[in-house]
Structure 1
Amino acid sequence: MIHLPRGSPRPYCAAMTDARLRHGRGSLAVSFFIQGVAFALLVTRIPAVQDRYGISDGLLPAFLAAVPVLAGVSSVIAEKLAARVGPAAVLRWVQPVVLLALLAVGAGSGLWMAALTLGLFGLVVGALDASMNMLGVSLQRAYGRSIMLGFHAAYSLGGIAGASLAWVGAHWHLTLFTSYLPVVAVLLPVGLIGSRWYVDGRSDRRAATDEPAARQGLAFRLLLPLCLVMTFAYIGDSTVSNWSAKYLQDVLHSSEELATVPYNAYMVTTLLGRSVGDLGVRRFGAALVVRGGAVVAALGFAVVAVAPGAWTGMAGFTILGLGLSVIVPQTFAAAGRLFPGASDAAVARLNVFNYVGFLVGSPLVGALGDAWTYRGAMLVPMVLVLVTVVYATSFGARPAGYGGGHEQPRTVDVG
């Protein structure tokens, strides 16, 4: 047996494996960024979409609800597709369709075109979200350390970029098609080229599906706590995205311009939290980071609920971004650790509850605000987010939770 001296280069094959994982990590981060841009361009221009197609205020909620419903359906379909061809292939083909569907939303006219294009967007975006997170979970397992928050930080950065581009389009009174076309023209080839380096972190996918957890299927009672955490997190997120501007303007009596600031501040602190969150997970463990995030998010909701004025309210929404930022990525990662032999299926099913939270959150806050007060309505997502503290044990007590009870040594740290 040949013994390499300390400090000598690693074997060529190991270096090649490390480079492959680094490329896979970078290309997946680009996909998360592209998806953040695309989704932000759609949701921040909803008033323009409504005007273009002549959608009434009464009919608009039905159109908006159809998108997450169809996304939930396609997330389940993605589980079946990934089992056959792998999540990398699913992601490689659905991301261009998402971008083209976004462009089609800006090009159509008439209610039937609105239904068709928004339906197509919803149908493919669920498969996109599921396959991206499947690959993220498998890459994190290959790395042997927390990297999942970094992918979601790329998504947040894309959301900020997309919202900024949407503001430019609205400011210059550009049509939706004119606003979307250059973005799609740039991001479509970038996504296709980047997809060449997608990596499934499991070296032998066929062997992975033969593990006991995969053969026995998912025990939903074990996944259920994570599903609830995902739902509660997205109820909180949809509360900010749908009600922060109205809350500041109607309840805290801010100007219309100032009312647009809280969501941007929320997105910025979400990006900051996710940018440093992996370091916290590696040092303190996922469970402690998630507990801390839930408490900070609840504090943010409490500040919003009792805010005497607009600036205090903005501070509350800003705090919220730091707290909620860590919960969703770690929920996907926990599902992968809980079902190492069936992580794709676990992620796909968990992803459905992303859309459940999105569907429930906005109507829930609106109904409570109308029936009670909007200040009181903010206490409901606060309580739901705090429930995450109870379920934090599902995230694992150990620092990484990767099988052996410790993270891989730094000699195989590849990024």
Structure 2
Amino acid sequence: MRRERRVRYGRASLAFSFLAQGVAFALLVTRIPAIQDRYGVSDALLPAFLAAVPVLAGVGSVCTERLVRRVRPSRVLRWSQPVVLCALLGVGAGGELWQAALALALFGLAVGALDASMNMLGVSLQRAYGRSIMLGFHAAYSLGGILGASLAWAGAHWELSLLTSYLPAVLVLLPAALAGSRWYVDATPAARGADRDGDQDAGGDQDAREEAAGRGRPVGFRLLLPLCLVMTFAYIGDSTVSNWSAKYLQDVLGSSEQLATVPYNVYMVTTLLGRALGDLGVRRLGAVAVVRGGALLAALGFGVVAGAPGPWTGMLGFTLLGLGLCVLVPQTFAAAGRLAHEHHGPGASDAAVARLNVFNYVGFLVGSPLVGALGDAWDYRGAMLVPMVLVLVTVVYARSFAAGTDRYGDGHERPRTADVGRGSNGL
């Protein structure tokens, strides 16, 4: 029973980490104009500053792939999250351009390690539960994003300094994240936790040996290629909404400036709702059906946006986008961990998640400049058709999300206790 309780606490503490990361990232990206003003960053230099964060995050994710061969992902997460929060505080506290550059560089590197390790633990916990729970973690991230954006709005509305805006959030999140980190659960908790619980079973040693062996095996890029493409296309769609929805509604569809701020908020809310309910859909319909449905819904959303006669129809399109895109990223992480586990053993799952995480940042880097360049050279309505086509490609690759040994959501779930003990534990 102690082990069952530990896994439940591990799920709750990991969900809080996703929420804290959502708050921190939203506080950073929604106050970019204030950061630019504080440090005197020119319009010409700003794109380089913004691009540096995802580039360094990719570096951090690659380093994490190597680091977890020797260090548990829970330890990487335990220390990378405080670094992210302190770096955010550094962005608000500095006064010189070099200080902003240093804080943003540290933020980017730590975010890469944080994103990778969070999703590693999420994938391993989903395997322990024997059913889909990954979307719930990303729902917590979406909720954090909404909270962070709301805090940023309040800071801007009351004309608070960056440090004053960031400090209360960090003072709350940092100790809470450190306290919750003691409950993180790594892969094969039966092997790792049984020594403390006093109920090591015969399979625990074998699980640990398989995991250690898996950590040393490279995960072939060819195995992950379809999922890497899906991840990239999903983030191209996501960055299109976050960077261009307001401009599109105001400049193309003729909305007011105030109304132009609504689509992104609607997108975030529908993303939260879709992820909160998504795990149930995966359990009932299977991952392949959910991914295909999400891709088709997102493509329909882009189509509605591209052909919208007015702002309210455009907002309907962005609503469909939130409901469709929200399921793709969590399911891609889950599928990568499952494929690596099936082909290379338990320890290979972490490496696969870290490698896939890099394409999160690739899509983020490509999406906004791609749509902007096409819009300037051609037409913004036509530019919206490009992410639509890319998202539709996900339908072709949806079979890569089919469950093998885990068989999530198809009526043949393996016992939920496979990684956490004997008997029915009701996790």
Residues 99-248 of structure 1: matches in 2 within 5 Å?
A: 99-203=85-189, 204=191, 206-211=208-213, 214-248=215-249
1:32 aligns to 2:12 (yes or no): no
Contact kept, 8 Å, 2:85 with 2:174, in 1: the verdict is: yes
1:18 is displaced (CA, Å) by 1.4
1:202 is displaced (CA, Å) by 1.1
Question: 1:107-144 deviations in whole A, cap 9, x for unaligned?
Answer: 11222112111111101000000000000000000111
Letter in 2 for 1:365: V
C-alpha distance 280-81 of structure 1, shift in aligned 2 (>3 A): same
Contact kept, 8 Å, 2:338 with 2:406, in 1: the verdict is: no
Structure 1: gaps (5+ residues)? 1-14
Q: Which moved more, 1:110-119 or 1:287-296?
A: 110-119
Contact kept, 8 Å, 1:286 with 1:399, in 2: the verdict is: no
The equivalent residue for 1:255 is: 256
1:269 is displaced (CA, Å) by 0.3
TM-score (norm 2): 0.91
Contact kept, 8 Å, 1:36 with 1:156, in 2: the verdict is: yes
Letter in 1 for 2:263: P
Supply the distance in 1 between the matched residues of 2:243 and 2:301 (Cα, whole angstroms): 16
Contact kept, 8 Å, 2:93 with 2:162, in 1: the verdict is: yes
Q: Percent identity?
A: 77
Q: Give the length in aligned residue pairs.
A: 400
Match of 2:424 among 384, 391, 412: 412
Contact kept, 8 Å, 2:90 with 2:100, in 1: the verdict is: no
Question: 1:281-326 deviations in whole A, cap 9, x for unaligned?
Answer: 1111101100000000000000100111111111111110000000
Question: 1:47-68 deviations in whole A, cap 9, x for unaligned?
Answer: 1111111111111000000000
SS at match of 2:255: coil
Match of 1:355 among 348, 355, 361: 361
The equivalent residue for 1:294 is: 295
C-alpha distance 376-29 of structure 1, shift in aligned 2 (>3 A): same
Structure 2: gaps (5+ residues)? 193-207, 417-422
Contact kept, 8 Å, 1:202 with 1:208, in 2: the verdict is: no
C-alpha distance 33-414 of structure 1, shift in aligned 2 (>3 A): farther
The equivalent residue for 1:388 is: 394
RMSD in angstroms over aligned alpha carbons? 1.7
Question: 1:328-380 deviations in whole A, cap 9, x for unaligned?
Answer: 00000001110112000000000000000000000000000000000000000
Letter in 1 for 2:362: V
Contact kept, 8 Å, 2:407 with 2:414, in 1: the verdict is: no
1:81 is displaced (CA, Å) by 1.7
Match of 2:370 among 356, 364, 369: 364
1:397 is displaced (CA, Å) by 5.3
1:399 is displaced (CA, Å) by 10
Supply the distance in 2 between the matched residues of 1:413 and 1:280 (Cα, whole angstroms): 22
Supply the distance in 2 between the matched residues of 1:322 and 1:399 (Cα, whole angstroms): 29
The equivalent residue for 1:318 is: 319
Match of 1:53 among 14, 39, 46: 39
Contact kept, 8 Å, 2:288 with 2:401, in 1: the verdict is: yes
Letter in 2 for 1:294: A
Supply the distance in 2 between the matched residues of 1:115 and 1:43 (Cα, whole angstroms): 15
C-alpha distance 97-216 of structure 1, shift in aligned 2 (>3 A): closer
1:80 aligns to 2:66 (yes or no): yes
SS at match of 2:412: coil
Contact kept, 8 Å, 1:99 with 1:184, in 2: the verdict is: yes
Supply the distance in 2 between the matched residues of 1:77 and 1:201 (Cα, whole angstroms): 19
Q: Which moved more, 1:202-211 or 1:351-360?
A: 202-211
1:414 is displaced (CA, Å) by 4.0
Supply the distance in 2 between the matched residues of 1:314 and 1:295 (Cα, whole angstroms): 18
